[in-house]
Structure 1
Amino acid sequence: MAVETGRITTDIPARLDRLPWAKFHWMVVVGLGTVWILDGLEVTIVGSMSTALADPKTGLGMSSYQVGLAGAVYVAGACLGALFFGQLTDRLGRKKLFLITLAVYTVATVLTAFSMNVMWYLAARFLTGAGIGGEYAAINSAIDELIPAKYRGRVDVAINGSFWVGAAGGAILTIPLLNPTVIDQSWGWRLAFGLGAILAVGILVVRRHVPESPRWLFIHGREDEAESIVKDIERTVKDETGRELHGVSDSITIRQRKTISLVLIAKTVFTMYPKRTVLCFSLFVGQAFLYNAFFFTYGDSLTTFLDVKQTGWYIAVFALSNFAGALLLSRLFDTVGRVKMITGTYVLSGVLLGITGLFLGSVTAVTLTLIGAIIFFFASAGASAAYLTASEVFPMETRALCIAFFYAIGTAVGGISGPLLFGKLIDDASASGDITGLAPGYFLGAALMVAGGIVAAFLGVKAEGQSLESIAAPLTAEDADEPGGRKTPQPA
């Protein structure tokens, strides 16, 4: 049914931001945030299954080229899925899309588990990537719009860092799944994908109870629904905490629209917010190259140069350090501040990786893992904050698409440029038997990460504790002071 659009003044953003933390917010975190665990599980398991997939008796008889192609297809699906579902998230709403994208992922993962030939497997990998890419856009925008401003930074950073919980779990799972004395190898890789689908179904059950973003609703002419949802949230939070909720005086005046054109979105991002565009680009490219410089070469370093037969435990330790960093440092992004923390984590991790490249010829499997754990304890918090930055520094109508755009850039750089460059370094180093041949990759990753930190120092946005509307006013906000409203902040 068509909805009349008009001009309204609302205090919904201020009411959501003043809420104390309650079980409701945990439900949002579990229902929306746990998808990163799925992504980590997916990426790690697939990276460890190449041998099983290559064997024509246990797998699909895939060549090394086809295994690599499957990775590229997944990356392409993630990039295109992010962009496609991202613009739909801004047009059709957060809830529709975070249910659709998880359903796409679940169905595609089941199809992967039942792959009968290489083409089937490649098609299923593309759809799986599309679902995951769409998740990043739909979920980050929904989380930011439902979590109070006081907690938004720590929640976003910790949730994005939970990718590494899945990575650790995937690494440990590969130990029995790839052991022929434990499980038939023709079933091990299929079971691995099936486990991801089972976890996704559990998440879908919880996610059904997460409401639509009231911020999205009132901008799109559905203020009555938005008001009803906020009242229900307030009542729930009050019952769960036993605390009275104080009133709010801050409000915003909105010119409601059913849709926002892609032309207006592009104009907003690239002309009104050029500094923020440069900031996000620098952060995503820096973290993509840092992770590829170390993690893409890590398994080969252990097996080819350091005589490790089973890498699962080493990767699990590395992954857990990443999650620990995102979790333990996340609170500081709300207290110390976004700019200082992003700058510090980027520069420190970049410098440490550069130093590691200088001494690469002296490492053992244990020392390389320990060094990596230290570097990425800090790097994971910074990389997670890149997603936080993209999700909060642009107007609400463009939020999901902006997240998708920068996610696609980071994923493309990491999944296309990274493997091409670092794969060549691995081949050359393997031919010579000299691990120091990987050092140029370390230096490049370090330089781009430090550069990202420097950009953040000058162009970073002090968003801690601020409402989303004060960081970047909605495109539909009134440009002048109105009774009961506020003046649109100037873009930066």
Structure 2
Amino acid sequence: MSAVETGRVTTDIPARLDRLPWARWHWLVVIGLGTVWILDGLEVTIVGSMSAALKPEGPGLGLSNFDVGLAGAMYVAGACVGALFFGQLTDRFGRKKLFLLTLGVYTVATVLTAFSMSPWWYFGARFLTGAGIGGEYAAINSAIDELIPAKYRGRVDVAINGSFWIGAAGGALLTIPLLDPTVIDPAWGWRLAFGLGAILAVGILVVRRNVPESPRWLFIHGRQDEAEEIVRDIERRVREEDGLELTDVSDSITIRQRRSIGMGEIAHTVFTLYPKRTILCFSLFVGQAFLYNAFFFTYGDTLTTFLDVKQTGWFLAIFAASNFIGALSLSPLFDRIGRVKMIAGTYILSGVLLGATGMFLGSVTAVTLTLMGAIIFFFASAGASAAYLTASEVFPMETRAMCIAFFYAIGTAAGGISGPLLFGALIENAADSGDITKIAIGYFIGAALMIAGGIVEIFLGVRAEGQSLESIAQPLTAEDVDDTGRPGPGHSTPAPA
């Protein structure tokens, strides 16, 4: 495909989408697209809960503590690669094609995981599963933000990302009967757990087929008539199904339509036009990735290795429920109080609490560690969800999916791969002596990164609440952007940073 200009169009589609009241149609978007985070939560929790079942030879795969951490790292590495690979395809070929494709990749890879016959098969299947989920993050976050009205974008994005913990709680509870040898043969329990994830994915795929392509993506890529048809259909459904009156709009934007945007222009946009936002997103993603992947991937292993817990499902379910409740209850405040105050507050507070937990790690029990984790991640889950919200709304439309993918991959590689490997090694080293305090260094690193992310948000955060995506970051193809990609004389939005 060529990146050459195909024409100019003046459109009011962004204003029409943003002025829509919340309606049943928006729930279709939330259910069809947002449920992917439930799958991710299910996957991560099953791996954490199944660590004991995967260790024995015969019914399991003969994994060591380090292998458990390696499996987590392989999943995250796959997610990084998948985000970058599918992210650039999402910006080039459209949101819908990719959010169908990536869910298909996830489904196939999960089935392969269920049929693992050796550790290396299992590691490879975990990598492919992560690739599907990573691609989902890029395709889904960009599509959701482009379809949800500006007034609701913050709370919807944070709550949807927080739905990861519905899957986590479900996965934790699911492992209770599946790991009970009196209920299911240990050789089959962990395999059934992964197989059920694939069944859930097929159900989501059926719903997702009814979610349309992003009209914003369509009109920028020379498909104005399709975009108009989709928006008119949405407006008709809102009027007929919900009986809501729609106000006229006066705002419009003129776009130089192009079939695709080159990688060079995307890199120029991220690093040259928006360097402060680049630093901001990197800081937020590294902090939350290390915190979650280090703590949660190995949480079940910590309980069984040091705190004599035989069945981790109930502990993980409580921990997961707190995360989802935190994201859901705090999400409206990201639109009311604002992005900067809420992101900075949740990051710094959760970092301080995690550091304090590390200091008293030697005196914790399974109950008190779970209680502290529930309190910490009540706040951290909302902040971590807002990291995805930030990356998806502070860069131009043409680069949105790739920017989400880039920061997810870079931040997750820095915190998500190193975190599980570090914690896996720490647990392995501490297991011989049974001294849980030897893993405290991981808590301190996670705390420092979260606090640093919150401080960066204070100085570089973007006040995006209630603003249209086009006013937060003007499209590169807007008429008042010159040929270098820089805002021209008629540009009235805040200067890039």
TM-score range, shorter chain: over 0.9
Counterpart mapping for 1:68-79 below 5 A: 68-79=69-80
Work out whether residues 113 and 193 of structure 1, in 8 Å CA contact, stay in contact via their aligned partners in 2: yes
Distance in structure 1 (CA, Å) of the matches to 2:274 and 2:462? 12
Residue aligned with 1:111, SS: helix
What percentage of residue pairs aligned between the two structures are identical?
82
1:321/1:41 Cα in 2 relative to 1: closer, same or farther (>3 Å)?
A: same
Work out whether residues 478 and 488 of structure 1, in 8 Å CA contact, stay in contact via their aligned partners in 2: no
What amino acid sits opposite 2:152 in the alignment?
Y
User: Which residue does 2:130 correspond to in 1?
Assistant: 129
Q: Deviations over 1:180-209 (max 9, x none)?
A: 110112221221111111100110011000
Residue aligned with 2:181, SS: coil
Distance in structure 2 (CA, Å) of the matches to 1:441 and 1:107? 34
Residue aligned with 1:168, SS: helix
User: Which residue does 1:385 correspond to in 2?
Assistant: 386
User: Which residue does 1:477 correspond to in 2?
Assistant: 478
Question: Could you tell me how far 1:443 is from its partner in structure 2?
Answer: 1.9
Distance in structure 2 (CA, Å) of the matches to 1:371 and 1:199? 31
Work out whether residues 282 and 451 of structure 1, in 8 Å CA contact, stay in contact via their aligned partners in 2: yes
Distance in structure 2 (CA, Å) of the matches to 1:147 and 1:442? 36
Question: Could you tell me how far 1:440 is from its partner in structure 2?
Answer: 2.4
What amino acid sits opposite 1:450 in the alignment?
I
Which among 477, 487, 496 is matched to residue 491 of structure 1? Answer: 496
1:151/1:102 Cα in 2 relative to 1: closer, same or farther (>3 Å)?
A: same
Q: Deviations over 1:306-330 (max 9, x none)?
A: 2222111111101110010000000
- The farther-off stretch of 59-68 and 308-317 is 59-68
| Count of residue pairs the alignment pairs up | 490
1:111/1:299 Cα in 2 relative to 1: closer, same or farther (>3 Å)?
A: closer
Question: Could you tell me how far 1:127 is from its partner in structure 2?
Answer: 1.9
Distance in structure 2 (CA, Å) of the matches to 1:390 and 1:250? 25
1:373/1:130 Cα in 2 relative to 1: closer, same or farther (>3 Å)?
A: same
What amino acid sits opposite 2:434 in the alignment?
G
User: Which residue does 1:11 correspond to in 2?
Assistant: 12
Distance in structure 2 (CA, Å) of the matches to 1:260 and 1:467? 22
- The farther-off stretch of 116-125 and 220-229 is 116-125
- Give TM-score, length-normalised by structure 2: 0.94
Work out whether residues 480 and 487 of structure 1, in 8 Å CA contact, stay in contact via their aligned partners in 2: no
- The farther-off stretch of 244-253 and 471-480 is 471-480
Question: Could you tell me how far 1:175 is from its partner in structure 2?
Answer: 1.1
Distance in structure 1 (CA, Å) of the matches to 2:28 and 2:41? 21
Question: Could you tell me how far 1:116 is from its partner in structure 2?
Answer: 4.0
User: Which residue does 1:328 correspond to in 2?
Assistant: 329
User: Which residue does 1:278 correspond to in 2?
Assistant: 279
Q: Deviations over 1:387-418 (max 9, x none)?
A: 10001000011100111111112322333211
Residue 438, structure 1, aligned to residue 439, structure 2: yes
User: Which residue does 2:269 correspond to in 1?
Assistant: 268
User: Which residue does 2:182 correspond to in 1?
Assistant: 181
Question: Could you tell me how far 1:39 is from its partner in structure 2?
Answer: 0.6
Distance in structure 2 (CA, Å) of the matches to 1:358 and 1:164? 27
What amino acid sits opposite 2:360 in the alignment?
F
Question: Could you tell me how far 1:245 is from its partner in structure 2?
Answer: 0.4
Distance in structure 2 (CA, Å) of the matches to 1:480 and 1:50? 53
Distance in structure 2 (CA, Å) of the matches to 1:261 and 1:460? 27
User: Which residue does 1:290 correspond to in 2?
Assistant: 291
User: Which residue does 2:410 correspond to in 1?
Assistant: 409
Distance in structure 2 (CA, Å) of the matches to 1:431 and 1:61? 18
Distance in structure 2 (CA, Å) of the matches to 1:403 and 1:432? 42
What amino acid sits opposite 2:413 in the alignment?
A
Q: Deviations over 1:241-285 (max 9, x none)?
A: 212100001111111100100000001001100000000011011
Structure 1 residues not aligned, in runs of 5+: none
- The farther-off stretch of 84-93 and 429-438 is 429-438
Residue 166, structure 1, aligned to residue 167, structure 2: yes
Distance in structure 1 (CA, Å) of the matches to 2:59 and 2:132? 27
Work out whether residues 151 and 334 of structure 1, in 8 Å CA contact, stay in contact via their aligned partners in 2: yes
Question: Could you tell me how far 1:296 is from its partner in structure 2?
Answer: 4.4
What amino acid sits opposite 2:304 in the alignment?
T
Work out whether residues 219 and 476 of structure 1, in 8 Å CA contact, stay in contact via their aligned partners in 2: yes
Question: Could you tell me how far 1:90 is from its partner in structure 2?
Answer: 0.1
Work out whether residues 251 and 486 of structure 1, in 8 Å CA contact, stay in contact via their aligned partners in 2: no
User: Which residue does 2:193 correspond to in 1?
Assistant: 192
Work out whether residues 32 and 207 of structure 1, in 8 Å CA contact, stay in contact via their aligned partners in 2: yes
What amino acid sits opposite 2:145 in the alignment?
D
Structure 2 residues not aligned, in runs of 5+: none
Distance in structure 2 (CA, Å) of the matches to 1:58 and 1:361? 33
Distance in structure 2 (CA, Å) of the matches to 1:107 and 1:424? 31
What amino acid sits opposite 1:205 in the alignment?
V
What amino acid sits opposite 1:128 in the alignment?
T
Counterpart mapping for 1:9-88 below 5 A: 9-62=10-63, 67-88=68-89
Distance in structure 2 (CA, Å) of the matches to 1:349 and 1:72? 23
1:301/1:128 Cα in 2 relative to 1: closer, same or farther (>3 Å)?
A: closer
Residue aligned with 1:5, SS: strand
Work out whether residues 477 and 488 of structure 1, in 8 Å CA contact, stay in contact via their aligned partners in 2: no
What amino acid sits opposite 2:193 in the alignment?
A
User: Which residue does 2:98 correspond to in 1?
Assistant: 97
What amino acid sits opposite 2:313 in the alignment?
G
1:116/1:422 Cα in 2 relative to 1: closer, same or farther (>3 Å)?
A: closer
Question: Could you tell me how far 1:60 is from its partner in structure 2?
Answer: 4.1
Counterpart mapping for 1:451-462 below 5 A: 451-462=452-463
Work out whether residues 77 and 127 of structure 1, in 8 Å CA contact, stay in contact via their aligned partners in 2: yes
What amino acid sits opposite 1:491 in the alignment?
P
Distance in structure 2 (CA, Å) of the matches to 1:480 and 1:240? 40
1:134/1:4 Cα in 2 relative to 1: closer, same or farther (>3 Å)?
A: same
Residue 396, structure 1, aligned to residue 397, structure 2: yes
What amino acid sits opposite 2:95 in the alignment?
R
1:72/1:424 Cα in 2 relative to 1: closer, same or farther (>3 Å)?
A: closer
User: Which residue does 1:143 correspond to in 2?
Assistant: 144
Distance in structure 1 (CA, Å) of the matches to 2:69 and 2:111? 21
User: Which residue does 2:237 correspond to in 1?
Assistant: 236
Distance in structure 2 (CA, Å) of the matches to 1:343 and 1:229? 37
- The farther-off stretch of 280-289 and 30-39 is 280-289
Distance in structure 1 (CA, Å) of the matches to 2:107 and 2:140? 16
Question: Could you tell me how far 1:139 is from its partner in structure 2?
Answer: 0.2
Q: Deviations over 1:196-248 (max 9, x none)?
A: 11100110011000000000000000001000100000011111221210000
- Give TM-score, length-normalised by structure 1: 0.95
What amino acid sits opposite 1:195 in the alignment?
L
User: Which residue does 1:227 correspond to in 2?
Assistant: 228
Question: Could you tell me how far 1:117 is from its partner in structure 2?
Answer: 4.3
Residue aligned with 1:6, SS: strand
What amino acid sits opposite 1:152 in the alignment?
R
Work out whether residues 36 and 136 of structure 2, in 8 Å CA contact, stay in contact via their aligned partners in 1: yes
User: Which residue does 1:258 correspond to in 2?
Assistant: 259
Question: Could you tell me how far 1:43 is from its partner in structure 2?
Answer: 1.3
- The farther-off stretch of 46-55 and 168-177 is 46-55
Work out whether residues 49 and 300 of structure 2, in 8 Å CA contact, stay in contact via their aligned partners in 1: no
